[in-house]
Amino acid sequence: MLKIVTIIGARPQFIKASIVSKTFKESDFINETIIHTGQHFDFNMDRIFFNELSIPIPKYNLNINSVSHGEMTGRMIIDLEKLLLQEKPDLVLVYGDTNSTLAGALAAKKLHVKIIHVEAGLRSFNMRMPEEVNRVLTDRISDILFCPTVKAVANLENEGFNNFDCKVIKNGDVMFDLALRSKKIIDDLKFPIRKFKNQKFILCTIHREENTNDAEKLKSILNALNRIANEIEIILPLHPRSNKSIDSNKTKLNFKTYDPLGYLDMLKLLKHCALVITDSGGLQKEAFFFKKNCVTLREQTEWTELVENGFNVLAGSNENIIYDSYKAMIHKNNNFDINLYGNGNASQIILDTLYELQ
């Protein structure tokens, strides 16, 4: 049996782990232990995902949150090192680009435990983003790098990974695996916000620090959304940090905001929305999975293939550019019949690869 410790801590990782851990559980050669760093601790950001996606309950919860990046990452490394010494895994698996990702990889590397990085090779080429720092450093010390796209593999090749002692594998996107399975479920779900059931609306999210921690950027984004809300309804579920920033910004909104929603409720809204406006990396992809155009409130994206193929436009935080991008994308007819993220078997490819390591 291969003993794997999986380290998760944030919403996108819960989603990815739900499908990969399910695949592991169905195998007869993997024993997985899950550690939750506690990075997301609000019920709607945390336990609701475990409940509705049937993620195995973590054996440990470090409950590390609401501190600076440096303190969070440092405390995670300290606690994770103790648990890895106790658990003695063959492999440590990390997802994506959060502080939990980097802390897990560093703790494992210092103990000479091999690292699996799922969603490797992504680059926004903006080192001011904490996520970019996390993903670049995690890639460099990982032993098995599972890449969701051709572009991700190319990024690693350009950085010289062919010369490193590691495996680089294009397996597709595990979030696409889950979205395909979930499409069969959401048709039977009640509409999460009843008044929008038969209305045209835009699904919007804001949570990136570069937007929520910059008062001028946030004000510009909110002004753009107010203009758009004069023409079409907006559904904006708010991350707790974003809610606090908007309250302190004192920009009056002419549309209602909502508490964070679970994964399946968000997919239900995605299926029925007219357009997505977001600064989330995961939601950019999920928009594509559900054949929706997207306006991204960032200057760069790690999902460059969506921009290159016209499914996504980068609007940044400028009020006029956001509004003009909305006008262009809401009426744009795109052909979504293109394979960007694999065939829905990304988790199985991970399992098959690990089988060969026995």
Catalytic residue set: 207
Q: In what order do the strands lie in the sheet with 294-296?
A: 257-258, 233-237, 201-205, 275-278, 294-296, 312-314
- Nearest in space to 328 (alpha carbons), one of 260, 275, 289, 269: 275
Given strand 30-36, what is the order of strands in its sheet?
Answer: 60-61, 30-36, 2-8, 91-95, 114-118, 144-147, 167-170
Please, are residues 97 and 15 in contact by the beta-carbon 8 Å criterion? no
Distance between CA atoms of residues 162 and 170, nearest Å: 14
Side-chain-facing half-sphere of 95: CA atoms under 13 Å: 27
Indicate the SS3 state at residue 316: coil
Separation of alpha carbons 48 and 54, rounded Å: 10
Q: Using alpha carbons only, what angle is made at residue 233 by residues 231 and 234, rounded to the nearest 5 degrees?
A: 120
Contacts of 88 (CB under 8 A, 6+ apart): 3
The DSSP element (H or E) to which 36 belongs, if any, is strand 30-36
AA letter at 300: Q
Residues ≥6 apart with Cβ < 8 Å to 50 = 14, 57
Q: Are 246 and 223 in contact (CB under 8 A)?
A: no
Q: Rg for the chain (alpha carbons), in Å?
A: 20
Tokens of 169: 């594998």
